[in-house]
Structure 1
Amino acid sequence: MNSIQELFGPRQIIAAVRNEEQLRQAVHAPVAAIFLLHGNINILSDYVDYAKGYRKPVFPHMDLMGGIAGDRAAVEYLARVIAPDGIITTRSTLIKVAKKQGLRTIQRLFLVDSTAVETGIHAVRENQPDAVEVMPGPLPKIIRHIKGKMGRPVIAGGLIEDREDIRQVLDAGACAVSIGNPELWCYNEGI
């Protein structure tokens, strides 16, 4: 299986999709991947197939999918039946199960204080996800700090408001930036 960075290729923007209209926009945007931040068990397969039809790697956020419990059976079902490229989750137990199912894994961390940073570093070292998404994203100093300690690609997400925010976090060492604003999805235009 390719690494996350190989899967993303040269692009560094990830479309964080919150509705069906954004999904339709994202498949035509020059993005590295699509993070599905909404959906439910009834439509998830259609969304994944749609994105893959446009050759866009797709990662549903397990914690945000309706009708899919955050447990081993849900991840096994997702891997076997829906077959996304990977998952995003805040739950360490799901990272372990998804890796065993052959899915790429992105562990989302909310860095609200120094304790959360240290707890996150410990969780990443223990679970070995393929990448880590840190939130909020505009934290260049923290990105530099944790990137070396985690030894995993870092994706910045949340509160990214403009091209300058994107540039700063990429310069700090983030491999990609997940963005919910479709106007910023063309940051990679020309790559």
Structure 2
Amino acid sequence: MKDLMEVMEENPVILGLSKDEDIPVVLENEAKVVFVLYGDLVRIGDIVHTLKEGGKLVFVNIDMVDGFAGRTSVVKFIKKNTEADGIISSKASLVRAAKEEGLYTVHRFFILDALAYRNIGKQLEISRPDMINIVPGWPMVVQWAVEEHDRPVIAAGLVCDRQLVIENLKAGAIAICSTNHTVWDM
């Protein structure tokens, strides 16, 4: 985990990969960490393999892969059939299962209101993730999460310009994730 934190600190912009057409751009980019935010059951292994050959640390958002269900067998599939370093999920049980399989884990939280924010602590007791992903990346909410929870925070969602990247990092996020190419080139 220490090595992962060092990589994140040295590479605070995580490339959010959402389509095949962006794979060559990701491979040319110096960023070390990629969140795969798409795919399907048939191709996810190939997508991850291509990124790993390019020297990337790869996390798969298992909630966004077509053909995957919200069951722990998905985690076992990722572990056995891909070279993924970790997973991202909004489902506490899947995050916990991935942790038990030895994968890095990111628990994704969609913060739509105060109730969703207050639920983070209960979910963390179940999932015990390596990192928290706050979506959307509102600096104020990121700061609350950093202050209240003992996990590194990644901001994502609507982090689409330099100012928001800087504000999120100042708020305490260890990194940000974006699908925006302008942010990738920062």
Cα deviation for residue 135 of structure 1 reads 0.7
Where does structure 1 lack aligned partners over 5 or more consecutive residues? none
- Alignment correspondent of 1:172: 171
Please identify, of 164-173 and 16-25, the stretch whose mean Cα deviation from structure 2 is larger. 16-25
Q: How far apart are the structure 2 equivalents of 1:3 and 1:124?
A: 22
Conserved in 2, the CA contact under 8 Å of 1:22 and 1:182? Answer: no
- Alignment correspondent of 2:100: 100
Aligned-pair Cα RMSD in Å: 1.4
Is 1:87 equivalent to 2:87 in the alignment?
yes
Q: How far apart are the structure 2 equivalents of 1:32 and 1:111?
A: 27
Deviations 1:117-167 (A, max 9, x none): 010132124321011110111x22221111122110100001112101100
Is 1:30 equivalent to 2:27 in the alignment?
no
Matched length: 186
SS state of the match for residue 109, structure 2? strand
Conserved in 1, the CA contact under 8 Å of 2:161 and 2:182? Answer: no
Q: How far apart are the structure 2 equivalents of 1:83 and 1:53?
A: 10
- Alignment correspondent of 1:184: 183
Following TM superposition, the consecutive aligned residue runs of length 4 or more in structure 1 with deviations greater than 2 angstroms are 1-4, 6-9
- Alignment correspondent of 1:155: 154
SS state of the match for residue 35, structure 1? strand
Cα deviation for residue 3 of structure 1 reads 5.1
TM-score, length basis structure 2: 0.94
Q: How far apart are the structure 2 equivalents of 1:126 and 1:118?
A: 15
- Alignment correspondent of 1:43: 43
Deviations 1:50-102 (A, max 9, x none): 11111111111101101222211121111022130000000001011101110
Q: How far apart are the structure 1 equivalents of 2:69 and 2:169?
A: 34
Identity %: 28
Deviations 1:33-62 (A, max 9, x none): 111111011111111111111111111110
Q: How far apart are the structure 2 equivalents of 1:152 and 1:92?
A: 15
- Alignment correspondent of 1:140: 139
Conserved in 2, the CA contact under 8 Å of 1:16 and 1:179? Answer: yes
The one-letter code of the counterpart of 1:109 is F
Q: How far apart are the structure 1 equivalents of 2:89 and 2:4?
A: 15
Q: How far apart are the structure 1 equivalents of 2:112 and 2:4?
A: 25
Cα deviation for residue 29 of structure 1 reads 1.1
- Alignment correspondent of 1:66: 66
Is 1:114 equivalent to 2:114 in the alignment?
yes
- Alignment correspondent of 2:16: 16
Where does structure 2 lack aligned partners over 5 or more consecutive residues? none
Cα deviation for residue 23 of structure 1 reads 1.9
Q: How far apart are the structure 2 equivalents of 1:3 and 1:99?
A: 16
